Structure 1
Amino acid sequence: MLDSHCHLTDPRLGGDLDAVLRRAQAAGVTRMISIGTDLDDDAATIAVCQGRDFLRCAVGVHPNYSHECDLSRLPELRTLQSAPSVVALGEMGLDYHHKFASKERQREVFEFQLDLAAELNRPIVIHSREAIDDTLAMMRPYTAIRAVFHCFTGTPAEAKKILDQGYLLGFTGAATFKNNAGIREAIRLCPTDRLLVETDAPYMTPEPMRKQKVNEPALVVHVADCIGRELGLSRDEVDRITTANAEALFGW
């Protein structure tokens, strides 16, 4: 199985990374994509992948860190994209929930990354929280860009808007939570060739493991089981489908 989105540089995982990776392998999670959130974290994420053929990464500037980003450094993303382990730009997007950065700054940083993705023909990893309409509006001119909306926690109607615009949906442990029937409805709406499974580790620990406060890639199998229950598929079938989708999106 392939965990399409985790944060292996987070101290909660990186502090004991070898053990985290061993547990993933033991659970059948043989490949992982680690995601950078700002320029310094991007460099660290690339370093984590070095010498580990089962890891790849995406590098970008997360909207919740866009206010801390020196705009003059954004062109460094072009250089970082040349690292052999990098398969995508991101995560990037808009977050109107936390309000760490102004909408204007978020949009400026997001637009730079969209332009770069179009220039380099790179897929992108989208973070969009309480901002689906504005995110889709900004992406609409970039018709050639392939994208996944990671950690989808929106409504079924929002899922349909994303799917109608041609993008993929990444589902996390949030789909397993009892009060998130809307996310499970979104799973049922999603064509099987647009599904990805992910942990967003160390966040979003799935049921039945929520007592484990720090999520990790080994637990992505529980997200796959949830998708399987909604679609009438076995874990192996979900693995095959979502791994093929990740390979097609990220070229890995």
Structure 2
Amino acid sequence: MYDNFFGYSKKSFKQIISNPILFVPTIIQIIIGIFLSFHIVTTRRITTINSTNYIMIKTFIIILLLFFIDLFLETGKMYIIKQSLTKNDISIKDIFIGAKKFFLRIFLGSLVIFGLTFALFLMLIVPSAILIAVNLNIIAIIIISIATIVFFIFISMWEFIIIYEDCSISDALNKSVRFAKKNFGIILLIEFLKGIFTGNNRNLNSTIYNKYNKSLFKDTKITNLPLLLNNLNVNINVLILGILIALIFELFFDVLIFELYIDRKDSI
């Protein structure tokens, strides 16, 4: 008999409390993100094409660097979660062991997911355009929403399966679809709650960089993270508290998904 959502939740909280080392990858991400954020330049007045190009290139490099660091640490975090659930003795070394072992597969898998998402977009754009053209906007929205939700629920387990099963990208996607078919309701609930409590965004720095990109061509002075937060009119204590709460929930849901898969993997 499989456990239910509340049973998995209870196990996940116990697992996190008994293994505080699980927070280490996220703490490293925050430290690196803050360090790099202090070096972000929002721009001075743009007067030449060369200065514009320099700012755009520097921004692109920083964001790309953060993307790879974030992906590396996220991979390590998922591996150490898996290790904590399958063996008693874990250490910080497991983060880097897992990241080195699975980083390339997770990165290539992300590219595959991007390609599949783009293919889904192409499949939906024509029928949606036809429905909108005949004033059936609501039906178009419903179709797009359902197709998108089903698609992402079906592929939502692929990273966890790669880490747990040590399998190929194609095998992980295949097992993710089969697993989601058998457990669609509980996965939908988990992803819905994860979206509410964490913003469904692993990159905690995205708000900062989105704000930066929007102001790229504005007349501003050199800006660091504290000044940027001040410009956003965000109370730093509230922001820190919100980030910490989101981090706890993000880790909680990652552990919960592993608990779910370990308990129900025989369903596929």
- The alignment's TM-score, normalised by the length of structure 2, stands at 0.27
Which one has the bigger helix percentage? 2
Which one has the bigger strand percentage? 1
